Amino acid sequence: MLCPAAAPGPPLSRPTVTSPRLPSSSLPLSSTIPPYATGPALILVGALMIENLLDIDWKDITQAVPAFITIAGIPLTYSIA
């Protein structure tokens, strides 16, 4: 037996989804640090990275060439990845 056709009714409405308002205390912590305060931290990290250059055997070309390319690429690409 066939089902009788449903009577047309009001169109179904979708529930409205609103994003919750976040309090200002939940902003990222990095936005509270002023830009001029990051300079000393970057200098310290750079000094710690340069300290490892002493461990490279610069007379061995299989270590020296990749190390030099990596070291030269860091400031040119603005990335340490």
**Residue spans per domain, the chain:** 41-81
Q: What is the pLDDT along the chain (81 residues), one digit of tens a residue?
A: 555 565 566 666 666 666 566 565 666 776 777 888 888 888 898 899 889 999 999 999 999 999 999 999 988 998 877
User: Whole-angstrom Cα distance, residue 47 to residue 43?
Assistant: 6
User: Which pLDDT does position 26 carry in this prediction?
Assistant: 61
Nearest to 50 by CA among 21, 15, 17, 75: 75
User: Which pLDDT does position 25 carry in this prediction?
Assistant: 61
